[in-house]
A and B are shown apart, each in its own frame.
Chain A
Amino acid sequence: KAGVTQTPRYLIKTRGQQVTLSCSPISGHRSVSWYQQTPGQGLQFLFEYFSETQRNKGNFPGRFSGRQFSNSRSEMNVSTLELGDSALYLCASSSFPGQGIYEQYFGPGTRLTVT
């Protein structure tokens, strides 16, 4: 069974631009979560989607948004990029949303560098 895939793996953007990251979950998984990981803040939850609906959202500004398609693939968008948005963006998929003991499987991440 193929794992979680994220594209692109690396991205360099300049301040003020916008970016879209893509995540394809494991086949059959309907829940996709996004996380930002930086050396200073560690892993921080961005949002979670289940069956095309955002179920949960972390404490990030409105510049961060996402969506999920009917095939469970998800995209996240960051508008008006700032230097502080440079991070590893991780996507995780699971059968069901965050509650319970459902296993979360992480993708390799997209490394975003904002210059």
Chain B
Amino acid sequence: QLQLQGSGPGLVKPSETLSLTCSVSGGSMSDSTYYWGWIRQPPGKGLEWIGNIYSSGTTFYNPSLESRVTISVDTSKNQFSLRLRSVTAADTAVYYCGRLTPFSRGGYKQPKNDYYYMDVWGKGTTVTVSS
């Protein structure tokens, strides 16, 4: 059974870079069908999509965060990573990593970005931005 586990510092100073890694077990990241992504949830608030990456390294980012975000992948380690630059208190959140799977009623040869949903979630990593 596929499992994802995020890891990284729980405390980051304002203006610095938040770095998290997601380790995938119980399956390979090499299947090009899937996206691997990050979603966050500020305390007491809703969910916000951050971005995704294919095993090939192709990325898809939230336009509102794109200028500060980099997602990378290392298929040899079955891991993918998130870097969020110039953080502020507003970036304090639980960060979830997960696998995104495509769905289309009509089938597809190559899935489009809008076909995807997160079907496997990691447990979440709490990150606080504070000096």
Question: Do the two shown chains form a genuine complex with each other?
Answer: no
Interface residue ranges, B against A (CB under 8 Å): none
